[in-house]
Amino acid sequence: MNKVSFGHEDVEPREKTRRVRGVFSSVASRYDLMNDLMSGGQHRLWKDLLVRRVRPRLGEAILDMAGGTGDVAFRLARHGAAVTVADINPDMLAVGIERAKARGIEGLAWAEENAETLSFADKSFDAYTIAFGIRNVTDMPAALAEAYRVLRTGGRFFCLEFSRTRWPGFATLYETYSRHVVPHIGKAVANDADSYRYLIESIERFPDMPTFKAMIEQADFANAKAEPILGGLVAIHSGWKV
Ligand code: SAM
């Protein structure tokens, strides 16, 4: 595989995986607080919308990939779905397990997994969700192929991710905010400007909606869709395995 982007730097694939691990190990303990601060609490609404689109049913098996500290999984579980939270980073999962305990949420399965090489059997899940995770994955086509493999026929794929807003004034405002304000918040609150700089740069390097939708189609998903939020600042991409 050729070099891949780690923020605005191009690095060897193995190096990206190593550095991404470092970023999330470093931010794990402050991750949830920082999400609220950086998005003004908006990420909660985006995750609520994602779960509304999934429409989880009682007893459905859902894989929340790159599930981190459990935000999406907790929402899915509220609808009675049988949720597996999978993430490559044990530090993020450890925070999630503690949060679940503190909230009295039981019955989630937690698994350390790389989205590119899942250990689950073919056709194990009714739905697959990935929120703010895919842009951190080194080999995105490999992760999409694995999502397809582990879904049952009729299974649904959903990805919530930052994209690019098409509202011109808002785009400029957001760019200023993300480049100049977010690393300062990262420094002040988590003493970690570099990790937050990476998180912003990785958003800037992520494919736009038509490109990512095409990648979902290339992974064989049918009826691929991109639903923009705030003009495309964030988007929910989806597809079906038929
Ligand atoms: N989904 C959670 C949320 O929305 O709050 C966490 C999102 S966090 C921005 C990104 C997560 O992706 C991190 O927990 C990170 O460890 C995970 N991740 C990065 N690369 C991964 C990979 N190759 N396989 C699985 N998880 C990965």
76 lines ligand 1 (CB under 6 A): no
* H-only helix segments in the chain: 13-27, 31-39, 42-54, 71-78, 90-103, 140-150, 168-176, 182-190, 193-205, 209-218
Query: How far, in Å, from the CA of 61 to the mean position of ligand 1?
Result: 20
Per-residue confidence at 178, pLDDT binned at 50, 70, 90? confident
Q: Give the pLDDT confidence score for residue 198 in this predicted structure.
A: 92
Give the residue-averaged pLDDT of 8-19.
94
pLDDT at 181: 86
Q: How much of the chain exceeds pLDDT 90, in percent?
A: 81
pLDDT of residue 242: 97
Model confidence at 175, in pLDDT bands (50, 70, 90)? confident
Q: Assess whether the C-beta atom of 229 lies below 6 angstroms from ligand 1.
A: no
Report residue 185 as tokens.
């918040």
In this predicted model, which residue has the larger pLDDT, 173 or 242? 242
pLDDT tens for each residue of 43-95: 999 999 999 999 999 999 999 999 999 999 999 999 999 999 999 999 999 99
- pLDDT, residue 153, reads 98
For residue 191, name the pLDDT band (cuts at 50, 70, 90). confident
User: Residue holding tokens 């794990």?
Assistant: 28
> Can you state the angle between helices 42-54 and 31-39, rounded to 10 degrees?
100
Give the predicted TM-score (pTM) of the model.
0.96
pLDDT at residue 183 is higher than 90: no
Mean pLDDT of the chain: 95
Asked if residue 136 has its Cβ within 6 Å of ligand 1, the reply is yes
Distances (CA, A) of 155 to 58, 61, 242: 15, 10, 8
**C-beta 31 within 6 A of ligand 1:** no
Per cent of the chain over pLDDT 70 is: 100
How sure is the predictor about 33, in pLDDT bands with cuts at 50, 70 and 90? Answer: very high
Cβ burial of 199 (10 Å; 0-12, 13-18, 19+) is: buried
- Helices 90-103 + 31-39 axis angle, to 10: 80
Centre of ligand 1 to C-alpha 169, Å, is: 30
Closest CA to 46 of 238, 236, 213: 236
Using the predicted structure, report yes or no on whether residue 1 has a pLDDT greater than 80: no
67 CB under 6 A from ligand 1? Answer: yes
- Rounded mean pLDDT of 162-187? 88
Report the distance separating Cα 121 and Cα 139, nearest Å.
Answer: 20
The predicted pLDDT at position 16 comes to: 95
Is any atom of ligand 1 closer than 6 Å to the C-beta of 131? yes
Nearest to 242 by CA among 122, 128, 154: 154
Instruction: Please tell me the residue having the least CA distance from ligand 1 atom 4.
Output: 131
Q: Is the CB of 20 under 6 A from ligand 1?
A: yes
Q: How far apart are CA 81 and CA 43, in angstroms?
A: 21
Domains of the chain plus CATH, in order, are 4-240 (3.40.50.150)
Question: What pLDDT does 185 receive?
Answer: 87
**For atom 19 of ligand 1, which residue has the closest CA?**
136
Test site for ligand 1: of 92, 112, 158, most ligand atoms within 8 A of the Cβ: 92
Q: How many C-beta neighbours within 10 Å does residue 80 have? A: 13
Query: pLDDT value at position 171?
Result: 86
Give the pLDDT score at 128: 99
Nearest to 92 by CA among 107, 109, 105, 111: 111
190, pLDDT greater than 90: no
